[in-house]
Amino acid sequence: MSQRKTAIVTGSATGVGAATALLLAQRGYDVLINYSKSEREARDAEAACRAAGADTLLLRGDVADDAACRALVAAAVGRWQRLDALVNNAGVTTFAGGGNWDAIDAQAFHSIVGVNALGTFQMVRAAAPHLRSARGAIVNVSSIAGSLGIGSSVPYIASKGAVNAMTLHFARALAPQVRVNAVCPGLITTRWFVDGIGQQGFEKIKASYEQTTPLQTAASAEDVADAVVWLIDGARTTTGELLLLDAGRHLGGTVPVPPRG
């Protein structure tokens, strides 16, 4: 059995996932890097974790597929004979805007919920026995969309609301061996948003967000990773927490997300 702690970070090729994997590696964890499409970026993320001293695994897998979730967990446990942390970061959306309901069909709704909500459940189910043995921790990367009912699209809002509710359920069901928490960021300055709404749209949203939030700032991927790793590696008495990382957005007001184009 490895003497180092180990973690699975889903969707860890870029953005928050990559930043979280790297920070865990820097804290002495061995890390499984997971991706569904971005192989080149995933290899870069793996190389950064290795440079930080971690042993790594790199596996492609769509968390909407239960067999893929079980394979990720089996690979980590097979390599290191333990699993101490699970970060459910993989997520998708369609940038339709919260009010553009006609832009959402059933397939898009099912696809988004399948990754964001069902994928979270499937990863927790597969990992739970090993996390119990290690007295480990789970952090679900959610969104203020699930807390405030605002966001890129209705299915995204619904999926993150489900993640928040499941976080509370998992925290009860897996106690006392496993702590389960969620982080709920607002606007994050990552490629994910830029790719979704375009550079011009992103700059407009960012300016509005920074003008209207109490702390007048958006989060970086590293800001979110700091909170995730604190909930994993510290926060000994914290479970069932939905940690809002929104610069105070929840204190009032909303920022609409425009459709692409």
Residues 6+ apart with CB under 8 A from 130: 73, 77, 82, 83, 136
pLDDT tens-digit readout, 27-36: 999 999 999 9
pTM, rounded to two decimals? 0.92
What share of the chain in percent tops pLDDT 70? 96
- The ranges assigned to domains in the chain are 6-241
**CATH code assigned to 6-241:** 3.40.50.720
pLDDT tens-digit readout, 130-161: 999 999 999 999 999 999 988 889 999 999 99
pLDDT exceeds 60 at position 87: yes
Contact 249, 144 (CB under 8 A): yes
Active site residue 29: no
Closest CA to 52 of 26, 19, 17: 26
pLDDT tens-digit readout, 189-239: 888 777 777 888 788 888 888 888 899 988 999 999 999 999 999 999 999
Name the active-site residue from 29, 35, 156, 209: 156
Distance CA(239)–CA(10), nearest Å, equals: 20
pLDDT class of 253 with cuts at 50, 70, 90 = low
